[in-house]
């Protein structure tokens, strides 16, 4: 039996739409999975989208205030068939995100903490 879990707690200053990609890779775990998103007033209901690679993205509108995300999956690990990478997917994998520019995040974090 294999178990995986993820926990995320944030406090939002304004309402937002979250797109969470916290599920196990498609075909890697045969069993059950649970995703719960909770705000101060109670459970929120994400809806699941599947991208072109079969990955799950859970979309949920969240209010201002504390948000709690809990993900759990368990089951037997399944072999993952190799997917050949084409040239486009190789470039996509190494470029920084447009939504969270990680290549700039470190310097902004340093500045925010006084250097």
Tens digit of pLDDT for each residue in 87-108? 777 777 776 666 666 666 667 7
Q: Which residue segment(s) compose the domain that 60 sits in?
A: 2-112
Alpha-carbon distance values, 77 to 32, 33, 51 (Å): 12, 13, 22
Which one is predicted more confidently, 1 or 87?
87
Residue 106 main-chain phi, psi, to 5 deg: -60, -45
Rounded to the nearest 5 degrees, what angle is found at the Cα of 60, between the Cα atoms of 62 and 105?
A: 75
Number of domains in the chain: 1
pTM higher than the cut 0.85: no
Residues 6+ apart with CB under 8 A from 12: 62, 63, 64, 65, 67
């Amino acid at each position: 039996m294999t178990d995986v879990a993820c926990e995320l707690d944030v406090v939002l200053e304004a309402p937002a739409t979250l797109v969470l990609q916290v599920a196990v890779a498609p075909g890697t775990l045969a069993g059950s999975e649970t995703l719960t998103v909770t705000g101060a007033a109670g459970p929120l209901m994400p809806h699941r989208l599947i991208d072109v690679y079969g990955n799950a993205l859970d979309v949920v509108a969240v209010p201002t205030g504390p948000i709690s995300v809990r993900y759990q999956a368990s089951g037997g690990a399944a072999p993952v068939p190799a997917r050949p990478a084409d040239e486009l997917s190789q470039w996509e994998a190494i470029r920084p995100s447009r939504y969270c520019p990680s290549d700039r995040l470190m310097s902004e974090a340093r500045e925010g903490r006084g250097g």
